[in-house]
Amino acid sequence: MSLNADSADIAFTFKGGMLPMTVMELSSADPEHIRRQLAGKLSQSPAFFQHTPVVLSVEKLDEPHLALERICAVCRDHKLLPVAVRGGAEPVRQSAWALGLGWFAPVEEGRARMLESVSRTTEPEAANETAEPSLPEGAAVATRLFRGTVRSGQQVSAAEGDLVVIGAVNAGAEVLAAGSIHVYGALRGRALAGIHGNTQAGIYCRELEAELLSVAGNYKRLEDIDSQLLGRAAEVHFKKEQLEIKPLG
């Protein structure tokens, strides 16, 4: 097959992505207990339960054998779509795969593997080679500056530092950053700060109309934002295990 095959012959390509994903952290393995709480949540926020994909986190549970199939059925009864499981012993992983779900290692284990991988790739090639001096603590990471409007369907990201947008973020657009996000205009699309788990990151904008706000994986949708904050300059931070949105200035 020619390496210069026409693009029309390519059925798909694999791409890395940073999609916002709701994590349902289970503190009970009782499907009926979960059902009762979901029913209450559904009455409070029916818009949230509209075929929302969720990752079931079982890291807080000390039960190697879960009624995973029943728990998934309860979620689907309430319009949630389980797509993967995070954490759990080997039987949990096997059950997830048997149900057609993905499986993620627990958060701490995943971080440890990442740090080990980074450590291996940064070792000096020779034993007597001197490693480059590390950056001083608190050194700034390069900030990405984007000038113009981030249009619907467009994604702008800063994989290592902050992102500054000198313009607006339209509905249907997405901005992501490892650090904080600053929008010097209207924020109508989706903004995801601290995408690698930085809970100290924040979101700042001149006009808040965001479809979704997220800091370190903790998010709020437009319908969850206090209407008195909409259309105003605002800042978003992660405090006391939830997002705090308040007027800027």
pLDDT single digits (tens) 143-177:
899 999 999 889 898 888 999 999 999 998 999 99
pLDDT in the model for residue 82: 93
The reply to whether 148 and 243 lie within a common domain is yes
Pair 106, 84: CB distance under 8 Å: no
> Which distant-in-sequence residues (6+ apart) come within 8 Å of 153 by Cβ?
172, 173
The reply to whether 101 and 191 lie within a common domain is no
The reply to whether 148 and 104 lie within a common domain is no
Residue 38 Cα to chain centre, angstroms: 22
The reply to whether 104 and 148 lie within a common domain is no
The reply to whether 160 and 240 lie within a common domain is yes
In a domain, 9, yes or no: no
Q: Decide which of 65, 92, 109 is a domain's last residue.
A: 109
pLDDT in the model for residue 47: 67
The reply to whether 95 and 28 lie within a common domain is yes
In a domain, 127, yes or no: no
CATH code, domain with 199: 2.160.20.70
The reply to whether 154 and 221 lie within a common domain is yes
Pair 209, 225: CB distance under 8 Å: no
Q: How many domains does the chain have?
A: 2
In a domain, 17, yes or no: no
The reply to whether 168 and 75 lie within a common domain is no
In a domain, 14, yes or no: no
**Which tens digits make up the pLDDT trace of 166-221?**
999 999 899 999 999 999 999 999 999 998 888 999 999 999 999 889 898 888 88
pLDDT in the model for residue 43: 78
The reply to whether 92 and 163 lie within a common domain is no
Q: What angle do CA 90, 92, 95 make, to 5 degrees?
A: 110
In a domain, 164, yes or no: yes
| Residue 229 φ then ψ, to 5° | -90, -15
Structure tokens at 248: 């800027």
In a domain, 131, yes or no: no
The reply to whether 98 and 172 lie within a common domain is no
Q: Is 79 helix (H, G, I), strand (E, B) or coil?
A: coil
> For residue 47, what are the domain limits?
22-109
On the question of pLDDT at 121 being above 50, the answer is: no
d(C-alpha 101, C-alpha 83), whole Å: 5
d(C-alpha 219, C-alpha 195), whole Å: 11
Q: Decide which of 109, 134, 168 is a domain's last residue.
A: 109
CATH code, domain with 41: 3.30.70.260
pTM of the model: 0.52
Q: Is 180 helix (H, G, I), strand (E, B) or coil?
A: coil
d(C-alpha 43, C-alpha 110), whole Å: 35
The reply to whether 148 and 222 lie within a common domain is yes
Lowest mean pLDDT among 7-11, 42-46, 132-136, 225-229: 132-136
Query: Average of pLDDT values for 57-70?
Result: 88
Give, in order, the Cα–Cα distances in Å from 132 to each of 31, 123, 129, 135, 144: 53, 11, 9, 9, 25
**What single-letter amino acid sits at 13?**
T
In a domain, 67, yes or no: yes
Q: Decide which of 109, 130, 153 is a domain's last residue.
A: 109
DSSP string, 35-94: HHHHHHHHHH-TTT-SSEEEEEE-TT---SS--HHHHHHHHHHTTEEEEEEES--HHHHH
pLDDT in the model for residue 17: 56
In a domain, 128, yes or no: no
Per-residue pLDDT band at 18 (split at 50, 70, 90) = low
Query: Average of pLDDT values for 11-32?
Result: 78
The reply to whether 103 and 153 lie within a common domain is no
d(C-alpha 24, C-alpha 31), whole Å: 13
